[in-house]
Structure 1
Amino acid sequence: MADEEDELLENEEIEHPDEYNDEEGDDVDDDDDDEIGILERLRLQFRGRIDQDKDIKRPEKITYDPALPTTHAYLGTDLEDYSGRTVLDDECSISLPLVQLPGVVLVPGETIPLHFFNPRIISMMKHILQNNRTFGMLYDSQERPSSRREISVPDLGTTAEIFSAKEEDDGGIETMRMKAMGRQRFKVMETRRQADGILIGQVMILPERCLPDVLCTARRRSLGRRRMVPHHISPSAKDGGMQWLKERRKRHLSEADLTWWPPWVYEMYDEDALMVKIKNELRGWYENSLQLKQMPATPSDFSFWVASNMPLDDAGRIGLLKIDSAVQRLRRELELLQKCTVLCCRECSTQIANKSDVFCMSLDGPMAAYVNPGGYVHETLTVYRAQNLNLIGRPSKENSWFPGYAWTILQCRRCTSHMGWKFTATEKNFKPEKFWGLTRSALKTGLQTDEE
């Protein structure tokens, strides 16, 4: 195995970090003994082996502040914040400027950082900031047609509202950094291209269909008190709400005895019961790295949160966005969570991680969107253990999405596709000492079939 790893390292022509000091390239002072030791360990780790840490245990305690990644400090601290929120009426028709980003499917409630260099888009964003700060985000499949006539615009998107932005002039090059949040789903009715190349769409805001209680027609109002779950039993308890679910089954679904169908049929369409089941399923993914109280409380918001944090491919995420009902969306997500077992390379199907390796390094959840200095947005999933990956390049702290961690590029060992980054702590008190950030566009999930 050692000879095989040496051969792979030679074939990859990896640049060894002979001089890895601080960000400015200055010599490290003698007083920084702790940092020297950590950086030296990074150099030795990088030189000595291919990234193949199979026996790493799940971190028992995370000392890193999960609020740091949510600030996107690499964009700078001088962004101007905007208050207020724009809510568009359901099923209303409105004209919106549209933006397509490669490999990004924006979900309502998801924060997306952006860095634009295109003068036309920057001009468009200036106009948006002067109005309702809202534009439409469309999926870009990255597959270019052979002729311009074949160019098609997706029929589904999500509105994005800017809540922080900064325009600057970098050596004569105008750029704009901003943060936006997904708000509402919309359907594209028609599009037109302006003379300056900006895409404008006439869109209809899609509503969230709220289904009535599954047993509302089978119960008597006079028995309302008997159906209430005791206050000391909470659906967000440490047991994942299983006791709450048992009480609900006894009290709320007893009316099913008056109908043709057994109670478990109605439970399949009970949004509260579905949320409890999904939370218990997520405990096998994230364990103690995410508190249940940090998840959205309403079924619709919770369903979107789950959709934005699942390592689905673009087609799977778009499929969830097309569902108009939170109940049906939750049912589909529960099915996917129960069947997903492994995370594989999208190109060659090599296994990269297991679902039990996923954990949270951010308050946003295990997956969040980050933007690199070139303006490319990566939706990144954090895992504490990965395999079949090669380290490319030397560790760097510059523009790190996780302050206090140095990043190294990851490639699939089999097909050399870009898989993400390895993050290693540059301070001794940070736990975990290292973790992996896998880009969603390079992953696909392994689903168990019914036969298996």
Structure 2
Amino acid sequence: MTMPLLLLPSVVLVPGQVIPLQLYTHRLVAMVRRVADKDKTFGVINLSKNYDDEGRHHFTSIGCTAEIFSMKDEMDEPSGISTVRVKARGRQRFKIVDMKSEITGDIIGRIRILPEVSMVHVLEGARLPSHRKLMVQPPDDSDDMIKTAVDRQGNILTSVDLRFKNPITKMYTANYMWWPPWVYQMYDIDWLVEQIKAELHSWCPSLPPDPVDLSFWVAHNLPVNDEMRLRLLAFDSVVQRLRFGLSIIRKSGVILCCDSCQEEIANKKHVFSMSREGPLGAYVNPGGHVHEMFTVLSVKNLENVGFASTEHSWFPGYAWTIVQCRGCNSHMGWMFTVAKMNLSPKKFWGLCRSSIKTSFGKVEEQDEKEKIGFIV
């Protein structure tokens, strides 16, 4: 399969993610129009900040197809430059087999769609066929499972326990296997989904229920660099993605700090979702550069640059102000302040994913976990 490719710096598109584009160069505008007239699908690959031995940008071999679902043509009358505003959604992972540059300047890639491998349960081969129809969900230990009958004077007549005495669950055969049951539980997809939802519930209460969608949601919203996100994207199995994502969540630090000088910027407990897609979103500025940023409610060691403006604001009703690190003056993102009184929150910050990383810093004793240095 061949398709046109778009190389974007500091952007790793994952399935389900929405990416906005504002294109003004003649080559890219013409390419997008051709794609929109054909099948509305093109490929997005990450353009690394690193260079090869010949001084050229290094690009990754793993990418994601993007399907255009919104497109708007605009014309700048003073300059006569034609621009195209596009919104596309990530669809399928692919690996580049070969790529070439056309005479028009378009980059065409020959790609192979990566399969989504569905694995059977880790204990599937050890279960007795006669027990499968008897398997139930793990017992609920709540008081609702115990029914009590009383008379008019409030005296207890009888009590019935509705919980299963010896339930047969899908993990029951782990007790007869070579490894301890908790080893097999680590590869149980339902258990992985429950653990990730428990860890990230404060970020977004309505997480995707489907395990595959959740694995890509995790890959999209975790505060990791391009290399770690590409590793998540390269896994063909949802179990592998969930396990690796859960490992990052539990081993990464609680502090978001500056990527350049490691100055503490925010705490992960202050991360929140400003949109339905999660705490991280992709936004494009008038110059066509795509920024991926986290939204947080509280920061430290940042200073404002310039004045607040509502022009081209990514959040209607909010004014933006550029913020930079107080330690090294690196660009960190923007502060958004409310311009209309009926909006909430009154103030929040958007931190660029490429400008931050996680570290452990100082944590409370009850939150003390395994320290392995910097994760991202």
| Residue 244 (structure 1) aligns with | none
Query: What residue number does 2:194 align with?
Result: 276
Q: Could you tell me which amino acid in structure 2 is paired with residue 169 of structure 1? A: M
Alignment match, 2:185: 267
Normalising by structure 1, report the TM-score: 0.71
- AA at the equivalent of 1:266: Y
SS at match of 2:69: strand
Alignment of structure 1 residues 386-397 onto 2, 5 Å: 386-397=299-310
SS of residue matched to 1:209: coil
- Residue 230 of structure 1 deviates from its aligned partner by 7.8
In structure 1, stretches of 5+ residues that fail to align are 1-93, 234-246
The alignment of Structure 1 onto Structure 2 pairs a total of residues equal to 338
Shift of the alpha carbon at 1:450? 4.3
- 1:278-327 per-residue CA deviation (whole Å, 9 max, x = no partner) reads 110113x52xxx323xx222211110011101111111111111111110
Q: Give the aligned residue type for 1:338.
A: R
Q: Displacement, 1:153?
A: 3.7
CA offsets per residue over residues 344-363 of structure 1, 9 Å max, x none?
11111111111111111111
Identity %: 46
1:136 is matched with 43
Amino acid at match of 2:247: E
Other structure's SS at 2:343 match: coil
In structure 2, C-alpha distance between the alignment counterparts of 1:227 and 1:359, rounded to whole Å? 38
Structure ranking higher in strand proportion: 2
| 1:115 equivalenced with 2:22 (yes/no) | yes
- For 2:293, the aligned partner's letter is T
Q: 2:321·2:335 contact (CA, 8 Å) conserved in 1?
A: yes
**Which aligned pairs between 1:232-381 and structure 2 lie closer than 5 A?**
251-283=169-201, 285-286=202-203, 290-292=204-206, 295-340=207-252, 341-381=254-294
For residues 174 and 431 of structure 1, the distance between their equivalents in structure 2, rounded to whole angstroms, comes to 36
* Cα drift, residue 225 of structure 1: 3.7
2:194 match: secondary structure: helix
Higher helix proportion: 1
Q: Secondary structure at the match of 2:126?
A: coil
Kept in 1: contact 2:221–2:278 (CA 8 A): yes
Task: Tell me the amino acid that sits aligned with residue 291 of structure 1.
Answer: P
**Residue in structure 1 matched with residue 70 of structure 2 by the alignment:** 164
Deviation at 1:208, TM superposition (A): 1.2
Q: Which amino acid in the other structure matches residue 200 of structure 2?
A: L
Question: Would you say the 8 A contact 2:66–2:90 is kept in 1?
Answer: yes
Q: Indicate how the Cα distance of structure 1 residues 95 and 231 shifts in structure 2: closer, same or farther if over 3 A, else same.
A: farther
Greater relative contact order (Cα < 8 A, sep 6+): 1
1:126 and 2:33 equivalent? yes
Match of 2:336 among 410, 413, 423: 423
SS in 2 for 1:135: strand
The verdict on how the C-alpha distance between 1:223 and 1:160 changes in structure 2, with shifts beyond 3 A counting, is same
* Distance change >3 Å, CA 351–CA 379, structure 1 → 2: same
Tell me: CA distance 1:116–1:185, structure 2 relative to 1, closer, same or farther (3 Å). Answer: same
1:221 is displaced (CA, Å) by 2.6
**3-state SS, counterpart of residue 179 of structure 2:** coil
Query: Deviation at 1:145?
Result: 5.3
RMSD in angstroms over aligned alpha carbons? 2.1
The one-letter amino acid paired with 2:173 is: E
Match of 2:354 among 406, 420, 441: 441
Matched, 1:155 2:61: yes
- With normalisation by structure 2, the TM-score equals 0.85
> CA separation of 1:117/1:430 partners in 2, compared to 1, >3 Å: closer, same or farther?
same
The residue correspondences of 1:34-49 to structure 2 (distance < 5 A) are none
Q: Distance in 2 between matches of 1:451 and 1:134?
A: 41
Distance 1:429 1:231, change over 3 A: farther
What SS does structure 2 have at the residue aligned with 1:400? coil
